[in-house]
């Protein structure tokens, strides 16, 4: 099935809609500059902010100013609204045709901008305690979905900086499997003091404008924004009388399975994701005219991505640029923001520049400084995340004859093993599987999830599963809380990097992938009480389509004494300190 | 210097969660990274935080850490020459 892209919405540092983003790209004007909206003391760090206050965005959405409404949700609503408008999808159409329209959002930090503002206060007073209800990424997606009132289902993917790319991949799979008629997929992420300081603790923020792929590169500039695309089958688009803007012709998701925050030297995960995407699109490397690289500007990413690009394209590397030099690194939203930039490039037949590049790096690719007019038929868009969650997407200008269906065979799934951990006392058993030196940094949830997973795999007699899919509503809260506490007590100083690297939801899945050497499909769902159900649903899709033989599916949650006391004040009681379940599934014989 | 070396070992154990180790088990001249104790890039960042907090030494570039964090003796030498507190 050919997946048509029929509408796009975008808001980021270089513009609040497609037209203004296009104009900035064409005129080579970066949106990175001094901080205006984020309440951080790190003014020495340039950022790529959306040039609106929360109140201004709420007004544009005809919403009352609400101190508990996250910037992530506000930007998400603005981008989704544009995408729906462009694709001519509205409530009247959806009701008349009984269309099953899904919203899939990629986000990680989500409501942290609000939580961090009230973290001290809510420990004493009830006034803003309800911010915890919209803290979770899944809750933000619900806020966005509720605003429009036309979505049949919605979910959230949280794989750090590849979240939005994976949202597009899930969207395409749901369409191919016939589970949805139209999918609005993308991502949204606001800047927060929390992750600005977190990235700072990893010492990968440049105090100057970022220079991806330059020999003098010294890190990334954080950005923010949201972008969503409307996906549907060629048939649905034809019936509705809308003209596709581009085609989502291939995609790949792989795991580097190397390190929690660093990419491998040979870019294994990136290489696997790109080759999978090309294979699905029925293309060879020479068919790609432009690559929108992940290109963060950190020494590690650009070295690793260069190596991967050389493995895929040999000595015939197409035009490559990282548009993070315009937008900053918009983390969870980068996959969809750059996807929309790729679609703009296809629609207007130009290639955006890699701003700031001057000096070739040793063994690095040479990025393009932009092409005003060029012929583009196929472009590749890379999005890589912490923990090696690497994804690549191919967009094509014209409908292809190549077909990459997802043929679902409804054979029953079988559970090969299931292990559940419900008590902290059980966690010492991790030492039966992992050396003390390796386990020493892991928080409670990291130990529990790894222990349940390794036990389940052992029971199933499997060393390396084909895919790892995790569901978690709250993720590694223990570490997030420790980081919030440190900011509260010490201010925006050099924070503990160990806390930050374990604060993203996908740390769980990628930790398991590293231990089991699993380079296959790796995704994390975070949709409140439905997180595990979505993980299972995706596992079923993969297994019944024959793409994989075994999947490790997990559901992992933890709480802290502080979190439980706050939630009790909100009337939510009896939350477990730890709950971890790992299931090994297979299908058919 | 002996005192500083012992203090550094205790601080390293705390900062890097080397729960099971005692200062005696960290050899003063043995490599901390790679083949030796087996620390990684996150540990290097933790050591940078440690130098800043405990001794007021700021390293602007993580690459500088490589030479300084070779072993405990090298760190002690660097700290004694550069400490601000």
Residue tagged 């890699």 (tokens): A354
A437–B49 CB contact, under 8 Å:
no
Quote the mean pLDDT of chain A.
Answer: 97
**Do A263 and A301 meet the contact criterion of CB atoms below 8 Å apart?**
yes
Q: How distant is the Cα of B42 from the closest Cα of chain A, in angstroms?
A: 7
Instruction: Report pLDDT digits (tens) over A145-166.
Output: 999 999 999 999 999 999 999 9
Query: Which residue in A218, A259, A440 is closest to B18 by CB distance?
Result: A440
Distance to chain B for A203, nearest Cα, Å:
7
Q: Report yes or no: A489 at the B interface, CB cutoff 8 Å.
A: no
Is B18 close to A496, i.e. CB distance below 8 A?
Answer: no
Residue environment code for A355-391, b if the CB has 16+ CB neighbours within 10 A, otherwise e: bbbeeebeebbebbbbbeeeebbbbbbbbbbbbbbbb
Q: How close is the nearest chain B Cα to the Cα of A304, in Å?
A: 16
Name the pLDDT band for A436 (thresholds 50, 70, 90): confident
SS3 content of chain A, % helix, strand, coil (to 5): 40, 20, 40
In angstroms, what separates the C-alpha of A262 from chain B's closest C-alpha? 9
Q: Which residues contact A338 (CB under 8 A, 6 or more apart)?
A: A292, A323, A381, A383
**Average of per-residue pLDDT values in chain B:** 92
Is B52 within 8 Å of chain A by CB? Answer: yes
Q: Which residues on chain A are in Cβ contact (under 8 Å) with B45?
A: 201-203, 497
- The confidence score (pLDDT) of residue B36 equals 76
Q: Is the pLDDT of residue A312 over 90?
A: yes
The predicted model gives A247-276 an average pLDDT of 96
Nearest-Cα residue of chain A relative to residue B19: A440
pLDDT in tens, A459-487: 999 999 999 999 999 999 999 999 999 99
CB contact under 8 A, B62 and A203: yes
Give CA A447 to chain center in angstroms. 24
Q: What torsion, rounded to 10 degrees, do the Cα atoms B24, B25, B29, B33 define?
A: -140
3-state helix, strand, coil in chain B (%, to 5): 60, 0, 40
Quick one: pLDDT at residue A459? 98
Mean pLDDT of A519-526: 98
Q: Which residues of A touch B53 (CB under 8 A)?
A: 493-494
Torsion of CA A550, A276, A310, B64, to 10 degrees: -50
* This prediction's pTM: 0.97
Q: Which residues of A have a catalytic role annotated? A: 161, 294, 329
Q: Which residues of A touch B19 (CB under 8 A)?
A: 436, 440
Cα A244 to Cα A22, A97, A342: the distances in Å are: 18, 19, 14
pLDDT higher than threshold 70 for residue A589: no
The pLDDT value recorded for residue A272 is 98
Q: Does A208 touch chain B (CB under 8 A)?
A: no
Q: Is A203's CB within 8 Å of B48's CB?
A: yes
CA distances from A355 to A20, A154, A173, A261, A409 (A): 18, 36, 34, 25, 48
For an interface test with A, give the residue of B13, B17, B42 to mutate (most A CBs within 10 A): B42
Nearest chain B residue to A502, by CA: B42
Is the Cβ pair B38, A437 closer than 8 Å?
A: yes
Between A256 and A437, the more confident residue is A256
Q: Does residue A107 carry a pLDDT above 90?
A: yes
Tell me, what's the pLDDT at B85?
85
Is residue A417 exposed (0-12), middle (13-18) or buried (19+ Cβ within 10 Å)?
middle
Could you tell me the sign of the dihedral formed by the alpha carbons of A96, A99, A100, A101, in that order?
A: negative
Q: Is B45 on the interface with A (CB under 8 A)?
A: yes
Q: Give the pLDDT band (50/70/90) at residue A372.
A: very high
Chain B residues in contact with A494 (beta carbon < 8 A): 48-49, 52-53
State pLDDT tens for residues A447-463.
Answer: 999 999 999 999 999 99
CB contact under 8 A, A494 and B48: yes
The sign of the CA dihedral A405, A287, A340, A202 is positive
The beta-carbon neighbor of A441 closest among B17, B38, B48 is B17
Any B CB within 8 A of A261 CB:
yes
C-beta atoms of A259 and B40 within 8 A: yes
Nearest 5°: phi and psi at A557? -140, 145
* Cβ <8 Å between A261 and B53: no
Q: Quick check: B41 and A494 CB within 8 A?
A: no
Closest residue in B to A261 (Cα–Cα): B42
Mean pLDDT of the A441-450 span: 95
* Contact state of A498 with B17 under an 8 Å Cβ cutoff: yes
Residue numbers in A near B16 (CB within 8 A): 440-441
Q: What CA–CA distance (Å, rounded) separates A508 from A554?
A: 9
Portion 3-42 of B in contact with A at CB < 8 A: 16-20, 37-38, 40-42
Q: pLDDT tens digit string along A555-588?
A: 999 999 999 999 999 999 999 999 999 999 999 7
- Is the pLDDT at B35 greater than 80? The verdict is no
Residue numbers in B near A493 (CB within 8 A): 52-53
According to the model, what pLDDT value does residue A402 have?
86
Q: What are phi and psi of B66, to 5 degrees?
A: -50, -50
**Would you tell me how many other CB atoms lie within 10 Å of the CB of residue A448?**
30
**Position A413 pLDDT exceeds 90:** yes
Is any Cβ of chain B less than 8 angstroms from the Cβ of A260?
yes
Q: How far apart are CA A176 and CA A404, in angstroms?
A: 9
């Amino acid at each position: 099935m050919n997946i048509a892209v029929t509408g796009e919405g975008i808001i980021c540092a270089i513009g609040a809609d497609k037209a203004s983003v296009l104009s900035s790209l064409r005129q080579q004007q970066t949106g990175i500059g001094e901080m205006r909206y984020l309440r951080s003391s790190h003014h020495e760090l340039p950022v790529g902010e959306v040039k609106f206050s929360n109140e201004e965005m709420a007004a544009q959405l005809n919403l009352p100013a609400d101190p508990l409404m996250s910037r992530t949700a506000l930007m998400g609503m603005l981008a989704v609204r544009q995408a729906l408008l462009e694709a001519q999808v509205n409530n009247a159409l959806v009701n008349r045709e009984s269309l099953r329209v899904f919203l899939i959002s990629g986000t990680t930090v989500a409501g942290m901008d609000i939580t961090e503002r009230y973290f001290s206060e809510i420990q004493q007073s009830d006034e803003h305690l309800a911010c915890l209800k919209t803290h979770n990424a899944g809750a933000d997606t619900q806020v966005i979905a509720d605003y429009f009132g036309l979505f049949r289902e919605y979910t959230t993917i949280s794989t750090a900086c590849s979240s939005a790319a994976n949202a597009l991949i899930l969207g395409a799979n749901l369409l191919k499997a016939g589970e949805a008629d139209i999918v609005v997929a993308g991502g949204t992420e606001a800047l927060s003091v929390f992750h600005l300081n977190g990235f700072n603790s990893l010492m990968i923020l440049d105090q100057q404008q970022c220079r991806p792929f330059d020999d003098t590169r010294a890190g990334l500039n954080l950005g923010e924004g949201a972008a969503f695309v409307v996906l549907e089958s060629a048939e649905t688009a034809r019936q509705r009388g809308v003209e596709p803007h581009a085609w989502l012709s291939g995609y790949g998701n792989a795991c580097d399975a190397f390190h929690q925050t660093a990419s491998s030297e040979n870019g294994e995960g990136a290489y696997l994701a790109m080759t999978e995407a090309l294979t699905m699109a029925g293309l060879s490397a020479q068919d790609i005219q432009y690559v929108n690289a992940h290109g963060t500007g950190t020494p590690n990413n650009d070295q690793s991505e260069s190596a991967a690009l050389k493995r895929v394209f040999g000595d015939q590397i197409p035009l490559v640029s990282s548009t993070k030099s315009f937008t900053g690194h918009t983390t969870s939203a980068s996959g969809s923001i750059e996807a929309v930039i790729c679609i703009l490039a296809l629609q207007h037949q130009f290639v955006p520049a890699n701003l700031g590049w001057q000096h070739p790096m040793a063994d690095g690719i040479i990025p393009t400084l932009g092409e005003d007019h060029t012929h583009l038929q196929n472009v590749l868009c890379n999005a890589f995340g912490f923990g090696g969650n690497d994804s690549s997407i191919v967009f094509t200008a014209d409908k292809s004859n190549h077909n990459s269906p997802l043929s679902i065979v409804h054979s029953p799934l079988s559970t090969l093993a299931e292990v559940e951990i419900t008590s902290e006392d059980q966690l010492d058993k991790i030492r039966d599987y992992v050396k003390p030196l390796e386990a020493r940094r892991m928080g409670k949830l990291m130990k529990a999830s790894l222990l349940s997973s390794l036990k389940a795999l052992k029971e199933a007699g499997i060393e390396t599963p084909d895919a790892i899919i995790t569901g978690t509503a709250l993720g590694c809260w223990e570490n997030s809380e420790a980081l919030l506490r440190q900011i509260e007590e010490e201010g925006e100083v050099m924070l503990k990097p160990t806390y930050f690297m374990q604060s993203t939801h996908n740390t769980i899945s990628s930790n398991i992938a590293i231990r089991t050497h699993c380079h296959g499909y790796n995704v994390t769902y975070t949709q409140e009480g439905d997180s595990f159900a979505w993980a299972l649903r995706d596992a079923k899709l993969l297994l019944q389509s024959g793409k994989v033989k075994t999947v490790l599916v997990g559901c992992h949650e933890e709480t802290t004494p502080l979190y439980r006391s706050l939630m009790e004040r909100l009337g939510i009681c009896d939350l477990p300190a730890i709950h971890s379940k790992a299931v090994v599934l297979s299908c058919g014989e | 210097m002996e005192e500083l070396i012992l203090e550094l070992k205790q601080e390293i154990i705390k900062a890097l969660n080397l729960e099971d180790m005692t200062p005696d088990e960290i050899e003063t001249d043995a490599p901390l990274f790679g083949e030796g104790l087996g620390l990684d890039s996150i540990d290097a960042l933790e050591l940078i935080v440690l130098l800043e907090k405990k001794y007021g030494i700021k390293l602007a570039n993580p690459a500088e850490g490589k030479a300084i964090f070779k072993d405990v003796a090298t760190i002690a030498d660097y700290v004694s020459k550069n400490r601000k507190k």
